[in-house]
Structure 1
């Protein structure tokens, strides 16, 4: 396994150093061949400067600074392109949030499943998974969105909206081919594309912790776009299923 962890950032100065410290500690303990790529959207708070101060910067930790705030999905796609261009031996891509809502220690659990599927979905809604620090309205929005995705797309997946995942190289290549979501709709699209292509997906339990430092970037406009995306992705989903199905049946 050659693992790359892609972390999109925007104004995460208060969290990024702790995240990198904990993440490198976990990976070194697991004795895994890894690199971390931070994709920063030119954060005005100096997030990129904090990354450059890390003891492993320019060795195990790489940095891309983009001009302007271009969005979560766009950052991850740029990150995947960087990995494939610079490391032909990369076998797996991890995506996770920078605000410490995704525990670095849970990555050890996800990795246990990496040889069993093309996508390992970090899940709050399977046995052993949980959420800490959310109010009832956030629980309601999340549970409703996941119910709607399961119903519309027949996924059987309990948590389709967490961005804590491991993708095989094959799954990541499909994302480069089909994904277009630039913001938070990425979390849905980047799971439904492998589902449409009939790749194997497993869920692994994670503990989601609501951020304690910095401000959430998820606003009401993003939530509305989320709902619209869930409802309108069906045509693209069917098109991917047909194209990828014909490829593997021919």
Structure 2
């Protein structure tokens, strides 16, 4: 059987404390993967650190966005580059803050071969969050319930951006015009693939709180997410296609 080529997209904004260590940790478990970092003009030097690493390792690539457009837009930019260069059969998105544990990568890669989309889930049996405040736990649960209810998605965890896609699934996503640029791209992506009858597999995942740096999520982002969720819901309620 032909070996699957793996590419990992990591969106970054002010992750200089984490990114090089993370890439080395990824290398320890998926040695021959291509790592694409999409940086939103981080003022803390994240892009410079990745650029130095890329000069030594041709499998590390840096994409620098002209401005901060949000996590969703950054990931989609990375996906487009992967399809353009045809460098992968399995494509993974993950965060840079070690909330997505590199040691879970091999199982995600294995399962996407048996299915078409594999998702790391905090809310299936065996999954959990660590060191979260009660407020954050309640907020996350409520957000997932709301997304599942509004969009009629079959997933228990709609907001975790640790996912693996088959090449076919990724190509399907990129044929569509996305309404969202924030974290809601995750839900919009799942909705598109669900409507195209792709098979999902949710795997239990441990989600620790970040150890270094600070979260980039704020109340403005939350309000933007709610507006985007409403827009997605209205688009489908009106019978519109999410295609170009």
Shift of 1:130: 1.0
Shift of 1:114: 1.0
> Deviation digits for residues 159-217 of structure 1, max 9, x if unmatched?
01000000111221222222232122222212221112221111011111111211211
Partner of 2:220: 221
* 1:90 aligned to which of 82, 88, 97: 88
Number of matched residues? 239
Distance 1:200 1:56, change over 3 A: farther
Shift of 1:242: 6.5
Partner of 1:206: 205
Q: In structure 1, list runs of 5 or more residues that go unmatched.
A: 245-250
Shift of 1:124: 0.4
Distance 1:170 1:191, change over 3 A: same
- Secondary structure of 2:221's partner? helix
Whether 1:9 aligns to 2:32 is no
Please give the alpha-carbon distance, in whole angstroms, between the structure 2 residues aligned to 1:105 and 1:237. 37
Q: CA contact under 8 A between 2:122 and 2:129: conserved in structure 1? A: yes
Shift of 1:34: 2.1
Shift of 1:22: 0.4
Q: CA RMSD in A?
A: 2.1
Distance 1:240 1:86, change over 3 A: farther
Partner of 1:138: 136
Counting only pairs closer than 5 Å after superposition, residues 172-187 of structure 1 correspond to structure 2 as 172-178=170-176, 179-187=178-186
Partner of 2:60: 61
- Secondary structure of 1:68's partner? coil
Q: CA contact under 8 A between 2:6 and 2:90: conserved in structure 1? A: yes
* 1:111 aligned to which of 109, 112, 120: 109
Counting only pairs closer than 5 Å after superposition, residues 180-199 of structure 1 correspond to structure 2 as 180-199=179-198
TM-score by length of 1: 0.88
Whether 1:47 aligns to 2:46 is yes
Distance 1:239 1:17, change over 3 A: farther
Distance 1:57 1:180, change over 3 A: farther
Q: CA contact under 8 A between 1:193 and 1:240: conserved in structure 2? A: no
- Secondary structure of 2:17's partner? helix
Deviates further, 187-196 or 127-136: 187-196
> Deviation digits for residues 60-87 of structure 1, max 9, x if unmatched?
1111112221221111111111111112
TM-score by length of 2: 0.90
Shift of 1:234: 2.3
Shift of 1:3: 1.1
Please give the alpha-carbon distance, in whole angstroms, between the structure 1 residues aligned to 2:56 and 2:67. 22
